[in-house]
Amino acid sequence: MCEANVYLSREGLEELLMEGVDRIIPGDDDNIFLENVFGERRLVKARIKEMELVRHRIVLEEIKEAAVRPHLELWLEPDTDHGHFHPGEEARMKLFQGFNMRAHEAASMEGLEAFVRINGQLRELALHKHHDAMEIELGQELEGLAQIYVHYKGESELYATAVMEVGHHHHRGLQPLGLPLEIVPLDYSHARLGENYGIQVLKDGQPLAGAEVRATFNGTQSRDYPHHLKTDGEGKCRLFLTARGNYLFSVIHDNTTSTFTLIKSF
Amino acid sequence: MCKNMPPLELAIQFHGHICPGLLMGVRAAEFAQKYLDVSPDQDEELLAVVETNSCGVDAIQSILGCTFGKGNLIFRDYGKSVYTIASRDKDRAVRIAQKYQAQPHPDNVRYRELSRQGTLTEEEAAEKENLLASIFERIMTTPFEELFNWQEADFAIPEKAQIYPTVQCSICGEGVMEPRAIMNGQLYVCPTCT
Ligand SMILES: [Zn+2]
Ligand SMILES: [Zn+2]
């Protein structure tokens, strides 16, 4: 007999997790896969603490998931279902307030300002409340690649940015807006499912190394941001895109939160 | 849909959801297209023989344009993830077979388990979503030769699908393709009425 009983140690207490285990495979993300002689299978977030092979006893130690501490942030989403507007079409963005792309009640209007930069021109935009969201009208005359951002100054400073295509353009080398904290896409024209997407974090125009960037997408089932990335020496990080909806990247630094919505164009 | 959709997006749109089987089919279809150096089928220039009727076949249909309706998708019910893609113009075919995995990756095992489970808790739903994301990345970034075997296939490409006249069933009155109708004396009878 060579199976073992597997125990899980939780806050010092051991409880039997699975009997007759004959296969243990440590996997990615601190996961351990267990299979026993009865064909039962489990995946637990734990590390191996102790193996007493003579007593057929293996003790795993639970890895606690970091508690989710939601904070408020702002983000933009287009009011279209296919990721871009056509010239002549009323281009409209929605502004949300919440966490992990789950919206709380509508952001209040006070202290919010919105801008668009298109073809090198910056202009202020009007915000208004519509049902449970704040809306921003971009108008019908736009044509090109619009960089939209919203700024809020309260106890902390919040920025929300997005790049929106009006008509079909393939711009590369998007210029940063010059915000105090900003997430800039590395290559705007390549935002495809099943490929890596890169962004750069700039603090006062300079790359911010070692910053934690959270990433999520429309309709995630996770309570917390499903992805936590770290910027490299050039302030860059990459994410392999696997969800169909728009993605949101978020970074916090010095009491400032800045988000960037990656609008997928299909 | 105002742009040329990348193959992966096409397949997901067609299939309705993202799943490991579909993604494996996407890899096979993209490989076949590159290997045979062909564009997606318009009018039966390509032909696919599929030995399974699971998710991956939808990638063959949407990416290569070998579809059930056009008649250039032939199904052989062997329960094998094997696709033979033939090009009429190039007069060659490639047989692509998914490699057998004795030890499936733990992520796939757990994903299948959660997929079979009817209702999921919030944690399980999040876990399933995470598993799919890692499986997705693994399938799309693993070298093709680790996922599939392939070989040039000796394959006699059949004639293009025929279009037959429609005749009227003498019992139900509905139309039926002539070779499928049965003669009862001078009258046609459709398969449902026999
Ligand atoms: Zn499927
Ligand atoms: Zn009939």
* Residue A135: CATH number of its domain: 2.60.40.1930
Query: Phi and psi at residue B5, in whole multiples of 5°?
Result: -75, 140
Cα–Cα distances in Å, from A222 out to A104, A204, A225, B19, B106? 16, 32, 7, 18, 21
Q: In angstroms, rounded to a whole number, what is the distance separating the alpha carbons of residues A25 and A34?
A: 7
Residue where a domain terminates, one of A39, A62, A85: A62
Tell me the pLDDT tens digit for each residue of A22-70.
999 887 667 888 899 888 888 888 888 889 888 899 999 888 765 566 6
Is residue A83 very low, low, confident or very high in pLDDT (cuts 50, 70, 90)? confident
State yes or no: pLDDT of A190 exceeds 70: no
Interface of B with A (CB under 8 A): 1-3, 5-6, 8-9, 12, 18, 26, 105-107, 109-110, 113, 122, 125-130, 132-134, 136-137, 140-141
Q: In angstroms, rounded to a whole number, what is the distance separating the alpha carbons of residues A33 and A44?
A: 7
Return the closest-CA partner of residue B139 out of A212, A90, A38, A193: A193
Contact between residue A166 and residue A91 where contact means Cβ atoms under 8 Å apart: yes
Task: Please give the residue range of the domain that contains residue A219.
Answer: 73-262
Is residue A23 included in any domain, yes or no?
yes
Is residue A178 included in any domain, yes or no?
yes
**Cα of A218 from ligand 1 centre, angstroms:** 20
Same domain (yes/no): A120, A21: no
Predicted confidence at residue A66, as pLDDT, reads 59
Same domain (yes/no): A198, A246: yes
Low-confidence winner among A118-122, A166-170, B96-100, B111-115 (lowest mean pLDDT): A166-170
Is residue A205 included in any domain, yes or no?
yes
Same domain (yes/no): A17, A148: no
| Residues of chain A contacting B122 with CB distance shorter than 8 Å | 221, 223
Q: In angstroms, rounded to a whole number, what is the distance separating the alpha carbons of residues A163 and A238?
A: 18
Q: Classify residue A131 as exposed, middle or buried by CB count within 10 Å of its CB (0-12, 13-18, 19+).
A: exposed
Same domain (yes/no): A24, A142: no
Cα–Cα distances in Å, from A166 out to A89, A118, A142, B106, B133? 9, 10, 7, 44, 30
Same domain (yes/no): A88, A195: yes
Identify which has the larger pLDDT, A175 or A161.
Answer: A161
Same domain (yes/no): A199, A81: yes
Contact between residue A114 and residue A77 where contact means Cβ atoms under 8 Å apart: no
Residue where a domain terminates, one of A62, A82, A102: A62
Contact between residue A199 and residue A229 where contact means Cβ atoms under 8 Å apart: no
Q: In angstroms, rounded to a whole number, what is the distance separating the alpha carbons of residues A235 and A186?
A: 11
Contact between residue A183 and residue A258 where contact means Cβ atoms under 8 Å apart: yes
CA dihedral sign of residues A54, A55, A57, A59: negative
Same domain (yes/no): A49, A92: no
Return the closest-CA partner of residue B61 out of B103, B104, B22, B101: B22
Return the closest-CA partner of residue A30 out of A40, A44, A14: A44
Same domain (yes/no): A154, A251: yes
Task: Please judge whether A242 and B8 are an interchain contact, meaning their C-beta atoms are less than 8 angstroms apart.
Answer: no
Same domain (yes/no): A47, A154: no
If one counts the domains in chain A, the total is 2
The H or E element spanning position A213 is: strand A212-217
Same domain (yes/no): A95, A225: yes
| Angle at the Cα of B150 from the Cα atoms of B149 and B155, rounded to 5 degrees | 145
Interface of A with B (CB under 8 A): 25, 27-29, 31, 33, 41, 43, 82, 84, 86, 168, 192-194, 220-223, 226, 240, 242-244, 265-266
Is residue A67 included in any domain, yes or no?
no
Predicted confidence at residue A154, as pLDDT, reads 83
Domains, in order of start, for chain B: 7-103+142-152 (3.30.1330.130), 164-194 (3.30.60)
Q: What is the 3-state secondary structure (H, E, C) of chain B?
A: CCCCCCHHHHHHHHHCCCCHHHHHHHHHHHHHHHHHCCCCCCCCCEEEEECCCCCHHHHHHHHHCCCCCCCCEEECCCCCCEEEEEECCCCEEEEEEECCCCCCCHHHHHHHHHHHCCCCCHHHHHHHHHHHHHHHHHHHHCCHHHHEEEEEECCCCCCCCCCCCEEECCCCCCEEEHHHCEEECCEEECHHHC
Cα–Cα distances in Å, from A162 out to A10, A13, A126? 43, 49, 16
Same domain (yes/no): A200, A140: yes
Q: Is the ipTM of this complex over 0.90?
A: no
Same domain (yes/no): A113, A162: yes
Is residue A213 included in any domain, yes or no?
yes
User: In the predicted model, what is the mean pLDDT of chain B?
Assistant: 93
Tell me the pLDDT tens digit for each residue of A100-110.
998 877 656 67
Task: Please judge whether B130 and A226 are an interchain contact, meaning their C-beta atoms are less than 8 angstroms apart.
Answer: yes
Number of Cβ atoms within 10 Å of the Cβ of B2: 12
Predicted confidence at residue A252, as pLDDT, reads 96
Is residue A149 very low, low, confident or very high in pLDDT (cuts 50, 70, 90)? very high
Most confident of A261-265, B157-161, B186-190: B186-190
Predicted confidence at residue A67, as pLDDT, reads 59
